Amino acid sequence: MSGQYTVAVAGVTGAVGQEILRCLQQRGFPVGELKALASSRSAGKEVVFRDQKVKVEELTGDSFKGVDIALFSAGGGLSREFAPRAVEAGAVVVDNSSAFRMDPTVPLVVPEVNPEDIRQHQGIIANPNCTTIIMLVALKPLHDLSPVKRIVVSTYQSASGAGAQAMDELWRQTGQILAGEEPEKSALPHQIAFNLFSHDSAITDNGYCEEEMKMVHETRKMLHTPDLLVAPTTVRVPVLRAHAEAIVIEQERKVSVTEARRALEKAPGVRLVEDAEANYYPMPIDATCRDEVLVGRVRDDISSERGLALFACGDQLLKGAALNAVQLAELIIRGEG
């Protein structure tokens, strides 16, 4: 591919769709024509791209004629229905839902982790879950030093992971509580303001929720390590849009803290945040609206001879979703996909 491209964004009016537009513009993606697609409820509205108003069209099976790249952020059901139609029309699809992530014929890719896998695509490339992206951007430099054999991870996930309505709910509940009113719940099952709770996805037969099992399966797929041990605990916290993760790993050989920090300092997509004197380490407020994953608190796991512990934060809407999708589109137009 070369030159200017016709790009479709499906789910353009949602929180991730809006971030995709911003990423395309800020990164100078060569968009010749933008097709803004959404549900029938949003058809006729306008979105702004490069200071121009673009009318939103209803997402249908006929939306992709002449489209080169289709960036989907419309939910798994719509992706399953319309992504194959986009491929039939000649587009390459980057899908942000879980619809195709574990399909063995669909590559699941983070450019800083496994860019070579994108070459295997048959028209669809899957964007991983936000928690998996943030974790693996932090862990890949360490995995390259010595293969990771076991991961224990606890996540602190922002409201944005449940969509724009959940973000609005956090704002609204905070105001209601500060005003002495009873907080109203709609987007999330429990009060999110001044509270936290186990991730709101369904609990599976093994006692882990679906969000946790995404981290297990997606990590194994991207690192090509089907026997990798992963024990996640996912928690929703009252933060607007950046996820945090406390990660403990065990590796094939002992990697020193110094060696780990050096690798992280050089790693693409990572910013090492370590100031022990000021007790200043990665925080969601600093990761918000940043492209990089912030990593710090790098230390020995004192319970394991070959273990390290670290803390990571990343913007769920950016690197956890929209930015990664646009980076995959960049790989495609560079001929790497």
Which CATH number characterizes residue 191's domain? 3.30.360.10
Q: Are residue 260 and residue 301 in the same domain, yes or no? A: yes
**CATH number reported for the structural domain that contains residue 71 in this entry:** 3.40.50.720
Above 90 in pLDDT, residue 206?
Answer: yes
Give the confidence band of 335 by pLDDT, cuts at 50, 70, 90. confident
Reference 55, options 27, 13, 26; nearest CA is: 13
Give the confidence band of 2 by pLDDT, cuts at 50, 70, 90. low
The residue from 121, 143, 199, 243 that is catalytic is 243
| Predicted pLDDT at 337 | 59
Q: Are residue 264 and residue 163 in the same domain, yes or no? A: yes
Query: What is the average per-residue pLDDT within 286-311?
Result: 98
Q: Are residue 166 and residue 309 in the same domain, yes or no? A: yes
Q: Are residue 274 and residue 137 in the same domain, yes or no? A: yes
Q: Are residue 152 and residue 286 in the same domain, yes or no? A: yes
The residue from 23, 121, 130, 199 that is catalytic is 130
Rounded Cα gap, residues 19 and 180, in angstroms = 34
| Predicted pLDDT at 304 | 95
Q: Where are the beta strands (DSSP E) in the chain?
A: 5-10, 31-38, 46-49, 52-58, 69-72, 92-95, 124-126, 148-157, 197-198, 229-236, 242-251, 270-272, 293-300, 307-315
Looking at the chain, the number of H-run helices and the number of E-run strands are 8, 14
| Predicted pLDDT at 74 | 87
Reference 196, options 152, 153, 159; nearest CA is: 159
| Predicted pLDDT at 10 | 97
| Predicted pLDDT at 3 | 79
- Show the domain range for 141: 132-316
Query: What is the average per-residue pLDDT within 182-196?
Result: 97
Rounded Cα gap, residues 15 and 291, in angstroms = 16
Q: Kind of pairing, strands 69-72 and 5-10?
A: parallel
Catalytic residue flag (residue 243): yes
pTM of the model: 0.95
| Predicted pLDDT at 1 | 54
Q: Are residue 217 and residue 103 in the same domain, yes or no? A: no
- In which element (H, E) is residue 76 found? helix 76-88
Q: Are residue 147 and residue 116 in the same domain, yes or no? A: no
φ and ψ of 101, to 5 deg: -60, -40
Reference 162, options 198, 199, 217; nearest CA is: 199
**Over the stretch 140-165, which tens digit does the pLDDT of each residue have?**
999 999 999 999 999 999 999 999 99
Q: Are residue 186 and residue 279 in the same domain, yes or no? A: yes
Above 80 in pLDDT, residue 336?
Answer: no
Above 80 in pLDDT, residue 48?
Answer: yes
* Tokens at 222, concatenated: 């991207």
Query: What is the average per-residue pLDDT within 223-229?
Result: 97
Q: Are residue 26 and residue 147 in the same domain, yes or no? A: no
Contact 145, 255 (CB under 8 A): yes
Q: What is the chain's mean pLDDT, rounded?
A: 96
Give the confidence band of 221 by pLDDT, cuts at 50, 70, 90. very high
Q: Are residue 210 and residue 305 in the same domain, yes or no? A: yes
Catalytic residue flag (residue 199): no
Domain count of the chain? 2
Q: Are residue 115 and residue 151 in the same domain, yes or no? A: no
Q: Are residue 183 and residue 233 in the same domain, yes or no? A: yes
Percent of the chain with pLDDT over 70: 99
**Over the stretch 61-113, which tens digit does the pLDDT of each residue have?**
999 999 999 999 988 999 999 999 999 999 999 999 999 999 999 999 999 99
